[in-house]
Every structure is written in structure tokens, then in C-alpha cells.
Amino acid sequence: MLPGEFIKYSREEVFKKYKQLRYTKNNNSFFLYLIYTAGTCVYVGETSNIFWRVTKHKAKCTAGSVIYLREYPEKETVLRLEKHYIRMLKPKFNSRYCQANQLELF
């Protein structure tokens, strides 16, 4: 179950909504995103440019995938939440933070 703060998008909806980020280098917002395929979380990530990140995730994010997205003003918050969701959901394509006895980054 995901918190209500996340907004659910298809791949195409992310491209349409965040098209303006296509040519942006330094965005002052940070995104936490969760990619679900067939009802299973396959990837958790963070980025300052969700347009290009989804573009690069061709193998992980297909036309049938669902992307849960939330925007934050601080990168530190997004990094902590990314770690939390990776540990909680154990996505198929994330190996970071999933291993027992791993050193803490925060």
C-alpha cells in the first residue's frame, strides 16, 4: 500500500506532464518514483529530472507500467525515502540497500 502523497501515472502521462523538463539541467525539485509492472514494484529511484529518467528506464518502465511519483524540495529527503522504499518493497531491479549487514549511508 502506498501513501496518499504519491500520484499515479502511466509512462506517457509522465512524458506529457513533465515535458518542460526535457531541456532543464538544474531543476530545483527532486522526485521519488516507484515503477510497478503487473502489480509488483520493480524499481525505486530518485531524480531531479523525471522526464529523462523515465526515458532511460526503457527496460524497467514499459508502456504497461505504472509510475507512482512524488516531488520534494530537498534532495536529502528524497534519498532517505528512496532507501526506505527499496528496503520495504525490495524491487527486482534495485540491489542498493537491500542487503543484510550493509553499511548505512545516512
On whether residue 101 sits in a domain, the answer given is no
| Confidence band, pLDDT 50/70/90 cuts, at residue 103 | very low
Q: What is the pLDDT of residues 68-92, one digit of tens each?
A: 999 999 999 999 999 999 999 999 8
Query: Which domain, by its residues, includes 83?
Result: 7-89
CA 59/CA 29 separation, integer angstroms: 25
| 1 lies in some domain | no
Q: Is it the case that residue 54 has pLDDT exceeding 50?
A: yes
Question: In this structure, is residue 19 part of a structural domain?
Answer: yes
pLDDT in tens, 3-41: 558 999 999 999 999 998 887 777 788 999 999 999 999
Domain count for the chain: 1
Asked if the structure places residue 104 within a domain, the reply is: no
In a domain, 45, yes or no: yes
| Residue 95 maps to a domain | no
Domain containing 50 — which CATH number? 3.40.1440
Domain-located, residue 58 = yes
- Cα 18 to Cα 23, 35, 41, 73, 93, distances in angstroms: 11, 16, 22, 16, 24
What's the whole-model pTM score?
Answer: 0.83
